[in-house]
Amino acid sequence: MINIREETVEFLEIEGRKTLKGVVHVSGAKNAALPLMAATLLTDEAIILNNIPYLLDVFTMKSLLEHIGIEVTELEKGKFLFRFSEVNSLEAPYELVSKMRASILVLGAMLARFHQAKVALPGGCSIGTRPVDFHLTALKKMGAQIKVEHGYIYAKAPDGLKGTVIEFPKKTVTGTENIMMAASIAEGKTVLKNAAKEPEVVDLANMLKKMGAQIEGEGTDTIVITGVKRLKGTEHTIIPDRIEAGTFAVLSALFDGNIIIENYPYQYLKYVHNILEKIGVTMVQVGRNSFVAKRLKTLYPAKIETREYPFFPTDLQAQFMTLLSVVEGVSTIRENIFENRFMHVPELRRLGANIKINNRTAVISGVKKLTGAPVKATDLRASAAMVIAGLIAEGTTRIYNIYHLDRGYEDIDSKLRTLGAEVSRGVE
C-alpha cells in the first residue's frame, strides 16, 4: 500500500444523528481576548484578564507577548496576570505571525510605547489576501516611518506618535483596535472615522478606559481618542464569544431546542436572530443568560448577506450554510467581507449538499439529508460548519485539518460530548 501522506494528520470523527440534549456554556470571545492581551503592552503595571478561552490563537498571542517581554501567569482557570518586565525583543517573528494573522495587533502598542517595532508581514490565508495596508497608512499618518522589506514591517517613530484624523477606506476590526491602542498613549487627539463597531472593539475601549485612556464614541462610526502620558493596570472580564454562541444557536435549532446555551450574549446577535426568525427559529430565554432555539416543524429558505457589525457576521456564514443546506427551497448567501470565503462549499458538497457558487453568492438548494464522508476543515469557521454537518449527517464524518477548530472553539469535543455527541479524535 502506498502512503502518499508524509506527515501524520489529526482528525475529528463524528458519528452523526445522535440526539443532542443538555446545557452548553459559551466561552470568552477569542476576538476580544487577542486585542485585550495585546493591550497589556501599553503599561508597566499588572493587568488581570478573566474568562480567557484556552485556544491555540490565545496561546500564540501569549507566546508573542512573552517573546516581547511580558510575564504571563495563570492565576486560576481562565484568569491570567500580565506584567511587563523588560523589553526582550521588539519583534513579532514570522513563526508566530504565520500561525495567527491577529499578531499584527501588537504593532500599534509596540510602536506607541517603544517607538519601534518589527512585525512579520502576515501572508495570505485561506479566506483571502487580507492585507494590513489600512493599519500601516494610519500609523504613517500618526508620524511613523514604515518600510516593508524581506517579509517584515519595520516601523519606527523616534519622536513618538501624534494624534491626527484617520478615515479607514473600509471598516477594519483589528485596524480599528490597533490604532485605538496606539492613539491612547500618542500625543494629542486622534479622530478615527469609519471605525469598526464590533462588540470586541467596544470591549477593548472599555478596558483601555479602565487603564486611564480617554476614549469616546466606541461602538459608533467615529472614535475620538485623546492620548495620555501613561496607562495603569486593571482587571477586566472578557465578553462572551458571539460567534461560538451563534454556532451553538444553529446547532440548537437543528436539535429542536433541546440544547440550552448558557452565557449567551443575546444583545450581540440581534441581527442574526432576525435571520433565524425568517428561517423559522426563535431564540427563547430559559434562564438569566440561557437561551434555546425553538423551531417550526418546517423551516424556510433565507437570503443572507455578510456585513460589518451590527449586521450578519462573516464568521457565521459557513455555519448558516450548513443549516440552510438541509432547509427545503433555495437560499442564497452573499459574502461581502472576504473574497474567498466559500472554501467549505466543496466540502459540504461531499456530504451531499447542493450548493452552487456564482461570484460572491452561494446558491443553496436544500436537500433532505446529508451523509457522512471524509472532509477537510478549510478555515476556522468552516471547521465549525463541518462539525455541525457531521452531527446531522447520516453515518460517519471524518474532519481533517482540525487544528483550525482548536484555534477558535474552546473544548469543543468535550462540550459536544456532554450534549451526547459521539465525537473522537484520531491520528492518521
Question: Interface with ligand UD1 by CB under 6 A: which residues?
Answer: 31, 34, 101-102, 128, 130-135, 170, 172-175, 200, 314-315, 337-338
CA distances from 243 to 37, 134, 212, 266 (A): 19, 25, 29, 11
CA distances from 413 to 147, 275, 342, 348, 406 (A): 44, 28, 25, 20, 10
- Check if the beta carbon of residue 28 is closer than 8 Å to that of residue 51: yes
Catalytic hit among 56, 121, 125, 228: 125
Question: Cβ-count burial of 367 within 10 angstroms (0-12 exposed, 13-18 middle, 19+ buried)?
Answer: middle
Q: Kindly state the smallest distance separating residue 292's Cβ from ligand UD1, in Å.
A: 26
How far apart (Å, rounded) are the C-alpha atoms in residues 327 and 38? 42
Question: Cβ-count burial of 310 within 10 angstroms (0-12 exposed, 13-18 middle, 19+ buried)?
Answer: middle
How far apart (Å, rounded) are the C-alpha atoms in residues 308 and 87? 36
How far apart (Å, rounded) are the C-alpha atoms in residues 218 and 206? 9
Residue closer to ligand UD1, measured from CB, 175 or 233? 175
237, containing H or E segment: strand 234-237
Write out the three cell numbers for 21. 440534549
Q: What is the DSSP string of 329-368?
A: SEEEEE--S-TT--THHHHHHHTT-EEEEETTEEEEE--S
State yes or no: is 90 an active-site residue: no
Q: Kindly state the smallest distance separating residue 370's Cβ from ligand UD1, in Å.
A: 25
Question: Cβ-count burial of 297 within 10 angstroms (0-12 exposed, 13-18 middle, 19+ buried)?
Answer: exposed
Q: Kindly state the smallest distance separating residue 132's Cβ from ligand UD1, in Å.
A: 5
Alpha-carbon 45 to chain mean position: 27
**Neighbour count for residue 162 (Cβ, 10 Å):** 17
Residue closer to ligand UD1, measured from CB, 110 or 179? 179
Which residues, 6+ apart, have CB-to-CB distance to 358 below 8 Å?
none
Residue closer to ligand UD1, measured from CB, 22 or 131? 131
Q: Kindly state the smallest distance separating residue 168's Cβ from ligand UD1, in Å.
A: 8
Q: Kindly state the smallest distance separating residue 135's Cβ from ligand UD1, in Å.
A: 5
Helix (H, G, I), strand (E, B), or coil: what is residue 287? Answer: coil
How far apart (Å, rounded) are the C-alpha atoms in residues 427 and 93? 29
Could you give the angle at which helices 30-38 and 173-184 cross, rounded to 10 degrees? 30
Q: Kindly state the smallest distance separating residue 165's Cβ from ligand UD1, in Å.
A: 18
Which residues are identified as catalytic? 125
